[in-house]
């Protein structure tokens, strides 16, 4: 059976094209071999379960380890209702896993001890017995801990692991050699639903955990290993370094997105073209396919749900994506920390927040635009903005938007416009581009907090600047930055939409010649 790119669940080497993550696994192995307790906490579909599987496979090779891998997925809530339920149920899960692993002697011990387990004290004593009877070091791995991590009894379970870990290090108890938890959240940082009387004992039930610093995203070089495997096992060719760099450009190495982009090309785009060669155009088409709101995935559904269910998170991301605001990346800020936990935001080279990858940014950008319902006054016939050669007539579109703002918004709308003005224009532009055009945002750090919109319309390309007026000095500086930016895109023409929130503002239009550039500016 031919391998495929996987976008659902566990990746298996003999079934799926996979990035070579052996260097990452070696780093995790070091933690295990040192007897560390830790959490592998990363966003949804970031390769946690696959990493655990590969870790399991590597540990199995080394005969000194016995791995007990459990999952809290689908175990229900009843197990967390009483102490005897969670302790009995947890031991029962261990016993069943040992039975499936054909560890007959240890399974027999588990079954013998099972009836007496009614409390954490009994569970702790039974773990000691199991470890003493085992000829190998026991590694406990628990997946999907988020399912129960806010439950008080689960925190008691972690507290028991912590206490046994500390006593084992003092040589007065026996416990698991290493405990690994897998989930989205870092257990150390969860808001816990604990009663005040329990706070003294459960403030830090996992404070013995080592920091997990392994970078689980894929670099362009690592992506090449998967593409090389794919090219070798199929009759399809490509410029591997170039394709890998472009995949990284769109995904920032988010594991699911890397595989998904490749899967779309392999299973959807190439069959249509009947070609045996990957191109950069294929990647652009894959990008457009993924960000199309008609092709949703569970990951994108989670992204939208997390934003829509938390107004502080939505507002933070709105300010960054739509208004181009600069926010210092600080994980002690609870909203920024949550955005990083969900994989929405990351830190850029200057220490500011940025959306983790261009696919997420485009999805969030379009989702926020869709919330801004445009009135009939805003939407004109698209034919008014298309030239004879199929080019986009951006000047008439900008003038039409200026007229709309002049007619429909006054100074009393100032607070609304300062936050929503950019969104209003982007919503105005959307139906004009629909079907033929494509717009995406590129943030540029500068004194004018501007947002660059790169527009492709059929084979044509345009750069549109949205910025806030802050005076002539900043305006001149901004023109120089803009000229430099146009050079990057090999363009000589730019369009500038300036939001002026002064009471004395004018609705004016100006053709600006700056160096070898022509800039059409509109004030609103």
- In this prediction, residues 12-24 reach a mean pLDDT of 96
pLDDT tier for residue 377 given thresholds of 50, 70 and 90: very low
- In this prediction, residues 442-470 reach a mean pLDDT of 67
* Cβ burial, residue 100 (10 Å; 0-12/13-18/19+): exposed
- In this prediction, residues 299-323 reach a mean pLDDT of 93
Instruction: Report domain extents, the chain.
Output: 22-202, 220-291, 375-524
Is the pLDDT at 364 greater than 80? The verdict is yes
Tell me the per-residue pLDDT of 174-196, one tens digit each, with 9 for 90 and over: 999 999 999 988 776 554 444 44
Tell me the per-residue pLDDT of 281-306, one tens digit each, with 9 for 90 and over: 999 999 999 998 888 899 999 999 99
Phi, psi dihedrals of residue 379, rounded to the nearest 5°: -95, 110
- CATH architecture group of domain 22-202: 3-Layer(aba) Sandwich (3.40)
Is the pLDDT at 197 greater than 50? The verdict is no
pLDDT tier for residue 417 given thresholds of 50, 70 and 90: low
CA atoms within 13 A on the CB side of 479: 16
E strand segments, 173-331: 178-183
Residue 262: how many CB atoms within 10 A of its CB?
25
User: 447 vs 107, 406, 419, 453, 476, CA distance in Å?
Assistant: 66, 27, 18, 17, 11
CB within 8 Å of 172: residues ≥ 6 apart: none
């Amino acid at each position: 059976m031919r391998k495929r790119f996987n976008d659902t669940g566990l990746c298996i080497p003999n079934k799926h094209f996979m990035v070579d993550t052996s260097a990452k696994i070696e780093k995790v192995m070091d933690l295990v071999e040192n007897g560390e307790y830790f959490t592998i906490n990363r966003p949804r579909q970031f390769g946690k379960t696959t990493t655990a599987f590969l870790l399991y496979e590597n540990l199995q090779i080394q005969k000194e380890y016995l791995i007990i891998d459990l999952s809290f997925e689908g175990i229900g809530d009843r197990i967390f209702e009483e102490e005897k339920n969670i302790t009995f149920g947890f031991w029962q899960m261990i016993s069943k896993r040992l039975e499936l692993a054909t560890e007959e002697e240890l399974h027999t011990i588990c079954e013998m001890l099972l009836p007496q387990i009614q409390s954490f004290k009994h569970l702790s004593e039974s773990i000691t017995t199991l470890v003493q009877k085992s000829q190998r070091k026991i590694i406990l791995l628990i997946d999907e801990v988020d399912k129960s991590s806010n439950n008080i009894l689960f925190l008691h379970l972690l507290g028991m692991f912590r206490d046994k870990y500390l006593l084992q290090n003092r040589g007065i108890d026996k416990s698991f050699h290493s405990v690994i938890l897998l989930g989205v959240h870092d257990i150390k940082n969860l808001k816990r639903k604990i009663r005040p009387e329990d706070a003294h004992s459960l403030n830090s039930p996992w404070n013995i955990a080592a920091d997990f610093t392994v970078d689980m995203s894929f670099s362009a070089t690592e992506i090449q290993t998967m593409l090389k495997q794919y090219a070798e096992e199929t009759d399809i060719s490509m410029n591997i370094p170039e394709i890998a760099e472009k995949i990284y450009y769109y995904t920032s190495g988010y594991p699911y997105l890397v595989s998904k982009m490749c899967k779309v090309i392999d299973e959807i785009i190439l069959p249509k073209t009947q070609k045996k060669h990957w191109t950069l155009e294929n990647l652009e088409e894959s990008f457009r396919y993924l960000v199309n709101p008609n092709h949703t995935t569970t990951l994108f559904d989670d992204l939208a749900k997390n934003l829509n269910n938390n107004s502080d998170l939505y507002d933070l991301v709105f300010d960054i994506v739509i208004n181009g605001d600069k926010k210092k990346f600080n994980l002690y800020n609870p909203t920024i920390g949550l955005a990083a936990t969900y994989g929405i935001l990351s830190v850029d080279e200057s220490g500011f927040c940025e959306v983790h990858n261009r696919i997420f940014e485009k999805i969030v950008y379009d989702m926020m635009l869709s919330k801004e319902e445009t009135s009939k006054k805003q939407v004109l016939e698209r034919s008014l903005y298309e030239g004879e050669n199929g080019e986009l007539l951006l000047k008439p579109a900008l003038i039409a938007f200026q007229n709309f703002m002049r007619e429909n918004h006054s100074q009393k709308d100032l607070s609304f416009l300062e936050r929503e003005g950019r969104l209003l224009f982007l919503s105005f532009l959307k139906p004009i581009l629909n079907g033929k055009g494509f717009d995406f945002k590129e943030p540029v750090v500068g004194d004018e907090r501007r947002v660059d919109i790169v527009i492709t319309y059929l084979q044509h390309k345009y750069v549109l600047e949205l910025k806030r007026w802050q005076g002539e000095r900043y305006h001149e500086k901004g023109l120089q930055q803009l000229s430099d930016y146009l050079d990057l895109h090999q363009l000589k023409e730019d369009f500038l939409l300036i939001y002026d929130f002064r009471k004395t503002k004018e609705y004016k239009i100006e053709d600006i010649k700056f160096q070898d550039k022509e800039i059409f500016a509109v004030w609103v």
